Amino acid sequence: MPAISSTRKYLTIFIVLGALFLAWIGVNKWQYGKMPWEMLKEANNRLNQEATSGVESEATTSNETKPQAPQAARQATMKDIAGKIGDLSPAKPVLGGKWYVTRFWFVSDGNNYAYVEYEDGHIMGRILVSAGEKSSAYKVVAYFEPGESDWALKQGEDTMAGKPLDLYEFDESKNEWVKKN
């Protein structure tokens, strides 16, 4: 007999919980005109839209306020550095070769810093250059050599590590440095 009273007890609890659940659904339907799970779905969609629109507006704002680097100034800087790479490089070319620049990586927010990749046909190098007050005054901030999977810092300090970069490569048909990204 105790098993029957225990079963009745659980059945009564189950019926009461079911009635409360149905009452909750009825109140929501009557008060808001929607089922509770529909309201949860709408709330979730609103949160996702707010999160997405916030990211888009931040990206739009940052692009709108980001100053555009004057391309003419970069072209002049690249031409000048390409002509002076033999003097700027801390390493000497091998086997009677001459250094020539293959790529420039300008720090995106201006014209003051650029990574310069160069080679002589046998070995490669990379320097981080800062432009001084005078348009033709450059300071080598860091020197890199090829590593196993990336450039290995050999001298100086990589003060621009992790910053967004603009890549330029020379286009012989246009006879100018062209932005690639």
Task: Convert the pLDDT of each residue in 42-83 to its tens digit.
Answer: 766 666 555 544 444 344 444 444 444 467 888 888 999 999
Please say if the pLDDT value at position 8 is more than 60. yes
**CA dist., res. 23 & res. 69, Å (int):** 64
What pLDDT, on the 0 to 100 scale, is given for residue 113? 92
- The pTM score is 0.59
Tell me the angle at which helices 2-32 and 36-65 cross, rounded to the nearest 10 degrees: 50
Between 166 and 3, the higher pLDDT residue: 166
The average confidence (pLDDT) of the chain is 80
Q: Would you list the DSSP string of 35-80?
A: -HHHHHHHHHHHHHHHHHHHHHHHHHHHHHHSPPPPHHHHHHHHHH
Q: So where are the chain's domains?
A: 2-65, 71-179
Between 63 and 36, the higher pLDDT residue: 36
The segment with the largest mean pLDDT, out of 39-43, 75-79, 113-117, 120-124, is 113-117
Sequence-distant (6+) residues with CB within 8 A of 79 are: 177
What pLDDT, on the 0 to 100 scale, is given for residue 43? 66
Lowest mean pLDDT among 24-33, 144-153, 172-181: 24-33
What pLDDT, on the 0 to 100 scale, is given for residue 61? 41
What pLDDT, on the 0 to 100 scale, is given for residue 146? 92
Residue at 95: amino acid letter = L
Please say if the pLDDT value at position 136 is more than 90. no
